[in-house]
Structure 1
Amino acid sequence: MLSACQDSKPLLFDNNPTPTPADLPAPAGHQISFAKEVQPIIETKCLSCHSCFDAPCQLKLESAESLLRGASQEPVYSSARTTEMKPTRLGIDELTVAGWRKRGFYSVLQSDREHAQSLLKNMITLGKQYPFPPNSKLPDSIKTGFARKNQCVSEEEFPGYAHDHPFEGMPFGTSGLTDREYSLLAGWLNQGAAVTDEPVTLTRDEEQTIRTWETLFNRDDKRGRLVARWLYEHLFLAYLYFPEAGDEPRFFELLRSSTPSGEAIIPVATVSPNSDPGGPFFYRLRPISGTIVHKRRISYPLDQMKLRRISELFFSEDWPVGDLPGYDYTERSNPFVTFAAIPARARYQFMLDEAEYFVRTFIHGPVCRGQIATDVIRDHFWTLFQSPESDLFITADTYRRQAIPLLGIPGQDDDLLDAGENWLRYLKRHNDYLALRQQHYVAQQPQGASLAHIWNGDGHNENALLTIFRHHNSASVVRGLAGAVPQTIWLMDYPLLEQTYYQLVVNFNVFGNVAHQVLTRLYFDLIRNGSEQNFVRLLPAGQRKTILNDWYQDLGKLKFGIVYEDIDDRSPSAERFVTENPKLELASHMLERFQSINTLSHDPLNRCEQGNCSRIDQPHWIQQADRALSGIAAQPAASLPGISLLPEVTFVRVQHGQNERTVYTLLRDRAHSNVAFMLGEELRYQPEKDRVTVYPGITGSYPNFMFDVPAAQVGEFVAKLSKAGKIKDFEQIVETWGIRRTHPQFWEILHDITAWQKQQQPLQAGIFDINRYENF
């Protein structure tokens, strides 16, 4: 609600130096219900910008608690913070409005001055007085996306802000509130802005299920306590739900509380889930309140099957436990030391069972804005997992004992002066581990790596094959091998999967300083390289270095032997190759071998073969749209110039008749000579090699733009997009089918796409974030 760009000059339209404000609808006079009349407006018109840690001015509007907390002038995201920021997590770090006021948060609902309007009333009034022409492009002086620098003005500063920025009221840079919506909000604010938070009433089945799980998590025996700690550190971020509770299950979070089951939860407010709790605690399940937003929704099921699986994996065999680990530096930086007593097979298999969840935690979450991690990865790649039976960390005791001390991860010590020394120490350990790994794998697998060593999901689990898409400073994960064969492919074993999870989720602190952020980014670079080198072992000896040189072009190749461990280009591969393109040949073998668990085994839109470019199980009109859109899939921008004008994530709603529609996501896969460096991404960008993946559905939480295209016009839309070599050509497409921020149906179409996903993927749907929506 308080977001705006900093620009010292007033915005003018039509060369009018004094904009004329529009007449305001009268505030509603009846007694207004927050739950029935106000909250739906906040959900549809405000929450798309104000949720998660990247909410402008920390004004989160997901729940009554967040609305009452208000706003802050201290940003969560800062790439130059030299000291750690005190966390500001709702429901954890402060539990009262008074506590947040002491932390510098100020109300947006009430004014401190007599007869003055609240900040929220002023902002929505400004937005209503100066609307934009329907479907108009915002002036260049109004910045959107990451180009915008938020102004977190106080109530006293608002008059000056309104004078300088008359067209930057709220909702910011969109078609805004309807007359009815404004009238209700203004009336509610005039009436004192009472906020009601209806208490959560659990069903008897939910209460019983919670007791069952809390009993498991709070066992008194050493094995139970150690397993519970490991499970908590792996599930603390999840939107937990009980599948047996009904069609629309409630979501819960797992947290540590100073109070036992049956009593009110008092959270243990530590920076990370593996920080010292400072005293006795209990694991508790708490309902997640507020509206579900897409970018934070990472669901995980807790049912009877999962309960049996945990018992089978962790408690069916008797394994010894000595003294329980504490929470010191070593135990936080090296989970392989902390949980060494738990059988490695149990830990790895538990993660494999829900691999999509774990990859989503460090790709999709946990902090909503992730360029620290995303500039380390390609825009499109596949991820596979080594089978537990072929993972020497699981099967070879001597190797595991030698490897464990080398697997610690940096970032726990965020002293700026020690950052360089810390990095060199962890880098040496990492490369010592890779040398040890290579030595043992060559000895144990003399015939070389094989596709038989890749986890096949036990023949039925679709978590085994994942595709990751990067969208500049965010990313998303889908099941299956989506899109054309990517440039790079990851093969993760247990150490790599666990290291990644702890580096980017458990140990990552969004409130940390620059040393913490830099060390996190540098080590994830090593993890990516290790995953790629694991995959390259499947390729023919003598050709691996050439292939890696293509992935690490220019200065990237210089990091081998200096930062990265040199590739093993001598030991054999167990796979056989007959073509001159072994990577493509191997990918073809993978698609064939894992077809039964690949949710996108054919992906005809991006891997169209012999004219079969549509999904045969879809209605005829969708098949026609598939075939048309497949014309821009997997083609380089050099031959399809319109690709270079698309943003990272574009939703395309295709309508058929009055009541039928489907949704596609156009994902622009930006090409780079390498992703091996923290800075200078623009210098490594290769725009002529950009491609588009056409995803049949929704992926990405931050749409950059939307098109609304009648089914009969999809072919024309694709044809014009393919030939749009100039900005004016693209603008004509936007004028015809584009949904600008100011489009009269902007909000309706955005939320209809959410509704469509709720029908198709009810456990993933949530309100999308438009902070990065482009101004075309």
Structure 2
Amino acid sequence: MRSLMMIFGLGWCLLAQAGQVSFSRDVQPVLAEKCVACHACYDAPCQLNLGSAEGLERGAHKLPVYQGSRRHAQQPTRLFVDANNEDEWRGLGFFDVLQDPQQQSVLLQMLSLARRHPLPADNSKLPTGLDLSLNRSDSCPTPAEFNTYADKHPHGGMPYAVTGLSDSEYDTLANWLIQGAAMDATSWQPTAAEQAQIDQWETLMNGTSNEQRLLARWLYEHLFLAHVYLDEESGKQGRFFQWVRSHSDSSAAPREVTSRRPNQDAGTHFQYRLRPVQDVLVHKTHITYPLTQAKLERVRELFWARPWQVDALPGYGRRARSNPFETFAAIPAAARYQFMLDDAEYFVRTFIRGPVCRGQIATDVIRDNFWTLFQDPAHDLYITDAAYREQVDPLLALPGANTREEKLLSSWRRYSKSRNAYEKIRSKAYARLPAPGWDELWQGNDNALLSIFRHHDSASVRKGLVGEVPQTLWLMDYPLLERTYYQLVVNFDVFDNLSHQLQTRLYFDLIRNGSEVNFLRLMPPKSRQSILDSWYQYSGKVKKWLVYTKIDTHTPSALALPAERSVQEFGRQLATRFADLDARPDPINRCNSAFCHRPGLTDEQAASEQLLSRLASRPAAGLPVINFLPEASLLRVEFSDGSREIYSLLRNRAHSNVAFLMGESLRYQPGLDTLTIYPEVLSSYPNFMFSVAAGELDDFVWAMQKISTREDFDVLVDRWGIRRTHPQLWEHFHDLSRHIGESQPLERALLDMNRYEDL
């Protein structure tokens, strides 16, 4: 009670000194600077999303979104979608954090608790007892419960477990809350030029013929997640839009249909509309896509160059949702595949990086680093052979629509059996074709080569061949790419139950296996089994025997690769042959000369990369510091001219196999872990940062090479690490976003701090 009176007394003092505080001018910048890094998307603690006025007004909820063991589906609580006003959110279980008629607001009490028990801004480790784990149980106290919470968790104020607010930042937020937390946020509106483009796109999407309506449905289901920009300049200014199915037409603001999934029935009266993205852009959900004039012409070129016909529109029932190949069979398959290939990085990002902010359903079935390639449409039987396509379409249905617990095993058996039947048909059909060569790989643009890095329960995707030649590669054809997209993006519901999530996870395991096996067709026949065995060691052999189909070890390949180290030689030749398509050449991790740095650098920058290359692509058995590094560290190198470069230090964990849902730690092969070093921010979720002056980089690299114990590593962190209590923590952390904006202006957005470790 005494602490509550202190807050009230402080509040009146502040109020007496302050003028009227504006949310948009004063408050929102502070929230973006110090709060949104943890409070955004579905993994925001207590579902408190601080990226918009709507999120603040919605408030907090005691029930977490991520509850993988739940037996029954949870009510969706998507911001901007599942409720339209404060009363509706209260009806869904959210409680007010801004105002309370009886007591001080929860948000003000949280801020004041952190002020009363500040962490030392001395770059020390956090006090014992502060839980940073993603699976921690958040208390989420209501106003009436706050005193008990504060007594139990004296260091549980906001911002949580980091260097706190400055005096002026605290005064701004406190005064605003005491003054009544008025919202003056105004939604930005499209310019006249933007509106003209929007009208063109909405006209295309809301045509009335069966063909127009079916194509619009397919396009919407493939773009609903995107932050779309109408031209590069407006995108660089942060002006993005999102497709919604709206109950209102173009005469009014979009009013989104509230279906659980984008391919569920929205009724007969809706239109596809472009709605401005109003909340603060956060990197983990900021997956960009161009809706430029050129893209509009490309859509017309791909889908309307030749006539096609839809006799009757498909429905939105369970079968239509589970099999997009049958549902959209009338749309030319070549056009569908080419549309996805044109922007393959976007589509892979949607299921690797999004849409749910904590993607372990997807990421625990993939290796820590691999490259992804795509089958050329001219060599994809699904595209070129109509009879083959008609034969396999029924076998390409996806599980997860029926989420009843008692149907889990029977449903899984049915879908896995269909998938394996498809694989057998596919293997036999491709065995009758000429031996596959380099022309089997699509080479249309720089989306042809993708690098994927997994960081436990998150992952990143980049164009180009980043890192050493990986242990495994994926070769995706249209059925693989489309099934992955529908399974992990369109049909996946983060609010659904355990049965749904298990079916999604298990089927993605089959998709990964299919992509690997498709790649094996390029390897020498006599090497394929040994390569596959290296991917499925120990317990993986059981999964390979029980679940997967046998591979073709007889049909020749036209690549003429050596029998030994076939994958490594393939990767080397790929980088050479496709150099013009490689968006990110990588001499640091794949150095094949005396110069292990990018061209065009200053002498000091080149020397720095030469030094860092000593740490790259070495196994942890010879570089023990890897054992102490988290999954995704960032290294900031400051040069004598005042410039800086930021490098990602990615720990690639080696596994005996990634074929099982449980027991990942039992399959680690720590001596084989490696480190990828690349001059770019390659994660939405930094785990730690180091800051080193270029003149000290030799000492830093030498220390990294000599570390063998945790005590040695602690010394390194003490000298160069940026802990949560560092006085310039936020300056360094937000510099990562600035770095993204400098190299990729369309991708600039706030990074997430929920996974930042206390090293």
**Aligned: 1:143 with 2:126:** no
Among 402, 405, 414, the residue aligned to 1:416 = 405
Q: Which residue of 1 aligns with 2:159?
A: 171
Q: 3-state SS of the aligned residue for 1:141? A: coil
Q: Which residue of 1 aligns with 2:224?
A: 236
Q: 3-state SS of the aligned residue for 1:763? A: helix
Rounded Cα–Cα distance in structure 2 between residues aligned with 1:475 and 1:260:
38
* Per-residue CA distance 1:300-339 (angstroms, 9 max, x = gap): 0011111111001101101121101110111100000000
Q: Mapping of 1:330-729 within 5 angstroms? A: 330-445=319-434, 448-457=435-444, 461-578=445-562, 580-601=564-585, 603-657=586-640, 659-729=642-712
Among 182, 186, 191, the residue aligned to 1:203 = 191
Rounded Cα–Cα distance in structure 1 between residues aligned with 2:240 and 2:100:
35
- Name the CA shift for 1:245/1:207 in 2 (closer, same or farther; >3 Å): farther
Q: 3-state SS of the aligned residue for 1:285? A: strand
Structure 2 counterpart of 1:233, which letter?
E
How far has the Cα of 1:244 moved from its partner? 5.8
Q: 3-state SS of the aligned residue for 2:473? A: strand
Q: 3-state SS of the aligned residue for 1:382? A: strand
Rounded Cα–Cα distance in structure 2 between residues aligned with 1:164 and 1:244:
50
Rounded Cα–Cα distance in structure 1 between residues aligned with 2:355 and 2:237:
24
Rounded Cα–Cα distance in structure 1 between residues aligned with 2:568 and 2:641:
43
Alpha carbons 1:24, 1:129 under 8 Å: kept? no
Alpha carbons 1:449, 1:538 under 8 Å: kept? yes
How far has the Cα of 1:197 moved from its partner? 1.7
Alpha carbons 1:337, 1:405 under 8 Å: kept? yes
Rounded Cα–Cα distance in structure 1 between residues aligned with 2:137 and 2:126:
16
* Per-residue CA distance 1:555-609 (angstroms, 9 max, x = gap): 10222242011111111111112462222122222111111101123x1110011
Rounded Cα–Cα distance in structure 2 between residues aligned with 1:729 and 1:298:
39
**Aligned: 1:771 with 2:759:** no
**Aligned: 1:128 with 2:115:** yes
Alpha carbons 2:285, 2:355 under 8 Å: kept? yes
Rounded Cα–Cα distance in structure 1 between residues aligned with 2:575 and 2:111:
53
Q: 3-state SS of the aligned residue for 2:197? A: helix
Q: Which residue of 2 aligns with 1:252?
A: 241
Greater Cα shift, 134-143 or 491-500: 134-143
Q: Which residue of 2 aligns with 1:108?
A: 97
Alpha carbons 1:579, 1:585 under 8 Å: kept? no
Q: Which residue of 1 aligns with 2:201?
A: 213
Q: Which residue of 1 aligns with 2:142?
A: 154
Rounded Cα–Cα distance in structure 2 between residues aligned with 1:742 and 1:282:
50
Q: Which residue of 2 aligns with 1:224?
A: 212
Alpha carbons 1:243, 1:249 under 8 Å: kept? no
Structure 2 counterpart of 1:472, which letter?
H
* Per-residue CA distance 1:2-44 (angstroms, 9 max, x = gap): xxxxxxxxxxxxxxxxxx99x9796252211211111111001
Rounded Cα–Cα distance in structure 1 between residues aligned with 2:135 and 2:410:
35
Q: 3-state SS of the aligned residue for 2:284? A: helix
Among 86, 90, 94, the residue aligned to 2:83 = 94
How far has the Cα of 1:619 moved from its partner? 2.1
Structure 2 counterpart of 1:124, which letter?
L
Alpha carbons 2:238, 2:746 under 8 Å: kept? no
Among 163, 180, 190, the residue aligned to 1:192 = 180
Q: 3-state SS of the aligned residue for 1:427? A: helix
How far has the Cα of 1:245 moved from its partner? 5.5
Greater Cα shift, 625-634 or 521-530: 625-634
May I ask how many residue pairs the two structures share in their alignment?
Answer: 748
* Per-residue CA distance 1:39-63 (angstroms, 9 max, x = gap): 1110011000000000000000111
How far has the Cα of 1:147 moved from its partner? 5.1
Q: Using structure 1 for the length normalisation, give the TM-score.
A: 0.95
Rounded Cα–Cα distance in structure 1 between residues aligned with 2:631 and 2:170:
33
Structure 2 counterpart of 1:62, which letter?
G
Rounded Cα–Cα distance in structure 2 between residues aligned with 1:750 and 1:249:
20
Rounded Cα–Cα distance in structure 2 between residues aligned with 1:449 and 1:89:
46
Q: Which residue of 2 aligns with 1:760?
A: 743
Structure 2 counterpart of 1:714, which letter?
L
**Aligned: 1:118 with 2:105:** yes
* Per-residue CA distance 1:233-265 (angstroms, 9 max, x = gap): 000000011116645251000010112122222
Q: 3-state SS of the aligned residue for 1:145? A: coil
Structure 2 counterpart of 1:534, which letter?
N
Alpha carbons 2:241, 2:276 under 8 Å: kept? yes
Rounded Cα–Cα distance in structure 1 between residues aligned with 2:490 and 2:550:
29
Structure 2 counterpart of 1:166, which letter?
P
Among 58, 64, 87, the residue aligned to 1:69 = 58
Structure 2's unaligned 5+ residue stretches are 1-5
Structure 2 counterpart of 1:654, which letter?
V
Rounded Cα–Cα distance in structure 1 between residues aligned with 2:141 and 2:350:
33
Alpha carbons 2:98, 2:107 under 8 Å: kept? yes
Rounded Cα–Cα distance in structure 2 between residues aligned with 1:99 and 1:313:
43
Structure 2 counterpart of 1:342, which letter?
I
Structure 2 counterpart of 1:122, which letter?
Q
How far has the Cα of 1:227 moved from its partner? 0.6
* Per-residue CA distance 1:258-299 (angstroms, 9 max, x = gap): 121222222111000100113321000000102111101000
Alpha carbons 1:94, 1:100 under 8 Å: kept? yes
* Per-residue CA distance 1:331-350 (angstroms, 9 max, x = gap): 10000000000010000000
Q: Percent identity?
A: 50
Alpha carbons 1:205, 1:245 under 8 Å: kept? no
Greater Cα shift, 755-764 or 290-299: 755-764
Q: 3-state SS of the aligned residue for 2:474? A: strand
Q: Mapping of 1:265-344 within 5 angstroms? A: 265-344=254-333
- Name the CA shift for 1:579/1:611 in 2 (closer, same or farther; >3 Å): farther
Structure 1 counterpart of 2:40, which letter?
S
Q: Using structure 2 for the length normalisation, give the TM-score.
A: 0.97
Q: Which residue of 1 aligns with 2:3?
A: none
Rounded Cα–Cα distance in structure 2 between residues aligned with 1:767 and 1:401:
46
Rounded Cα–Cα distance in structure 2 between residues aligned with 1:129 and 1:669:
41
- Name the CA shift for 1:73/1:656 in 2 (closer, same or farther; >3 Å): same
Among 702, 720, 724, the residue aligned to 1:741 = 724
* Per-residue CA distance 1:81-100 (angstroms, 9 max, x = gap): 11111111111111111110
Structure 2 counterpart of 1:582, which letter?
S
Q: 3-state SS of the aligned residue for 2:258? A: coil
Rounded Cα–Cα distance in structure 1 between residues aligned with 2:141 and 2:231:
44
